[in-house]
Amino acid sequence: MMQIWVAIIYIVIALIAGGALGFFLSQRYFKKYLRENPPVNEQMIRAMMMQMGRKPSEKQVRQVMQSMNQAK
C-alpha cells in the first residue's frame, strides 16, 4: 500500500518537473526565434509606406525602425 503512494508522488513530481522544463525550453526557443526573425524589418516598413503612396527616404525608414525598437 505504501509503494502505491510513493509511485503516485513520483509521478506527480515528474509531471511538475516536465511541465516546468517544457515551459522554459519553449520560452527559450521562442525568444531565439524572435531574435533571428524579427516581426518587422526595414523592407516591411518600405513596402507599407509604398502601399500608402509614399516614397520613403532611408532616414524615414530608420526613424520608424528606431521608434519601434524603443517601444519594445
Nearest to 43, CA basis, from 65, 67, 66? 65
Q: Over its length of 72 residues, how does the chain's per-residue pLDDT go in tens digits?
A: 789 999 999 999 999 999 999 999 999 999 999 888 878 888 899 999 999 998 989 999 999 989 988 886
pLDDT of residue 1: 73
Q: Identity (one letter) of the amino acid at 18?
A: G
pLDDT of residue 40: 84
The residue length of the chain stands at 72
pLDDT of residue 42: 87
